[in-house]
Amino acid sequence: MKAYEQIGRRLQKAREEAGMSQDELARILGYTQSSFSNYELGKRRLYFADLQRIGKILGKPITYFLDDGDEDTEGKTDLEKIMREPYLKDILYASRDLKPAQRKSILDYILWQKSKTGGAK
């Protein structure tokens, strides 16, 4: 993936998380919706100053858009959160030496438990 496409994807994600439409953000920035769409698609380059301004509007640091980490960075953050939950880390460690069929049985049991309680935590 090209750097501009990656920046565009993150730009779109940050905009959506902020609950803004392309048109809303484009107007604030003084762009047309179609030119802003091209930034999100990675078809046009954003100036650094514009990216800083967008970050400020969307509440994201400039590094959010520029980080060249792998696409799974967000998944790692979720995994880190999950690993801090009570007992989940223990469950994973205890099941790592099991055969796949045994792990599947444990997953089935967990899903059964969730179905009984309506998915409550």
- Provide the number of structural domains found in the chain: 2
Would you say the pTM of this structure is higher than 0.75?
A: no
* pLDDT-derived band at 66, boundaries 50, 70, 90: confident
User: Which of the two residues, 29 and 68, has the higher pLDDT score?
Assistant: 29
Which CATH number is 30's domain given? Answer: 1.10.260.40
User: Which of the two residues, 89 and 8, has the higher pLDDT score?
Assistant: 8
Instruction: Please give the residue range of the domain that contains residue 14.
Output: 3-66
Beta carbons of 33 and 26 less than 8 angstroms apart: yes
Comparing 21-35, 58-72, 93-107, the range with the smallest average pLDDT is 58-72
Closest CA to 17 of 85, 80, 65: 65
Closest CA to 41 of 18, 10, 66, 15: 10
Mean pLDDT of 91-104: 86
Task: Give just the sign of the alpha carbon dihedral 49, 53, 58, 59.
Answer: positive
Share the mean pLDDT of the chain: 85
Same domain, 78 and 60: no
Beta carbons of 54 and 21 less than 8 angstroms apart: no
Ranges assigned E (strand) in the chain:
none
Say which DSSP state 46 is in.
Answer: P
For 13, the token pair is 């994600």
Mean pLDDT of 15-44: 93
Same domain, 39 and 85: no
Same domain, 48 and 30: yes
Please report the pLDDT score of residue 79 as a whole number. 72
Beta carbons of 44 and 35 less than 8 angstroms apart: yes
Same domain, 18 and 51: yes
From CA 82, how far away is CA 100, in angstroms rounded? Answer: 21
